[in-house]
Structure 1
């Protein structure tokens, strides 16, 4: 499996709406195709991919995005978020984002949106505040609002074996009663 195959899958073979919904079939496709290379990424063995913008993006997608598909409903889905964030920060430091398309930048910046740090969410607003990323910017506003309120994403509490506060339980109850299993701010995916 090569970095270009991951890039092709994300930007040529899939429809943008596929990243928005909870689709077990889509998760299985990702698991079948990318599990082995994900294992390499999580062990830090794709370090040679970090010398080129698209290759670096592929490693970030593996860790930030495909982890959510491969390990859905498992705490391991979030285990690689910090590594993905560091890789994204490094790619931005190298100005790789300036060499990517708008849609590719959306994926590159996604680890910022997945973070449970208020500081990182401030940076995410700055990153998403550019033409073509307006939808992600508004989604990030929702993410930041939850982090500012709770200091974490209550939607992850059960899967991460964290005890929810009364306020978080009320929030989750309202989320469930709204008819949506996930709000814009709690989606697994980046768009």
Structure 2
């Protein structure tokens, strides 16, 4: 399937089948499906070629619209982790996703999104993208935390507690970056040597992106 066979709305509709007002239980089920590996096989089957095309720059024009920018963020921040899982390429487009996010915060695309779950996904690259200077990553995480806190008030009343829980996620990432300056669980895939302290941390299997020790999800 070629990149021209898809439009941004295809990607967003696939990733967010929540409807206008999902129940809290359904919203949590779908969030787990998105972020804990349930969507992996379908992403690989339906969107591998699209992800490869996006990585080659064939979809850069999608960033001209809020929906297109969100679709690109999903591809570069999430689909890459399914399509190229276990390889350095899974993380190779984090900077592109981060830059799309930061620009979208400046140009109004973030504010134009339809709901809090789209906005939550939009800011995740700020949590994932390692920076050469850890201080830059911490600054991005502070932005992500401020966004997550703001989205609590924007959430529908029946999803407010879900948003409170979600606001804890960037804080977990921040604690890891403040401690290590990077995500140590990526070291083996990226060919990096781990410090003794990082080895102790990795041995726990308790990372921000896991549901339980030792079970990684594609948002790693």
- Specify the alignment match of 2:45 in structure 1: 32
**What is the alpha-carbon distance in structure 2 between the residues aligned to residue 112 and residue 135 of structure 1?**
18
Q: Match of 1:107, SS?
A: helix
Q: TM-score, normalised by structure 2?
A: 0.77
Residue pair 2:204, 2:213 contacting (<8 A) in 1 also? no
Structure 2, unaligned stretches of length 5 or more? Answer: 1-5, 19-28, 131-136, 156-162, 207-211
Please identify, of 166-175 and 116-125, the stretch whose mean Cα deviation from structure 2 is larger. 116-125
- Specify the alignment match of 1:140 in structure 2: 170
Question: Are 2:135 and 1:122 equivalent residues in the alignment?
Answer: no
* Pairwise CA RMSD: 2.0
Cα distance, 1:187–1:75 mapped onto 2, change above 3 Å: same
Q: Match of 1:73, SS?
A: coil
- Give the drift of 1:187: 4.7
1:149 alignment partner, one of 165, 174, 179: 179
- Specify the alignment match of 1:102 in structure 2: 116
The aligned runs of 1:48-87 (5 Å cut-off) are 48-87=61-100
- Give the drift of 1:3: 0.8
**What is the alpha-carbon distance in structure 1 between the residues aligned to residue 104 and residue 194 of structure 2?**
35
1:112 alignment partner, one of 114, 118, 126: 126
Q: TM-score, normalised by structure 1?
A: 0.88
- Specify the alignment match of 1:180 in structure 2: 213
Q: Which ranges of 4 or more aligned residues in structure 1 deviate by more than 4 Å?
A: none
- Specify the alignment match of 2:102 in structure 1: 89
Structure 1, unaligned stretches of length 5 or more? Answer: none
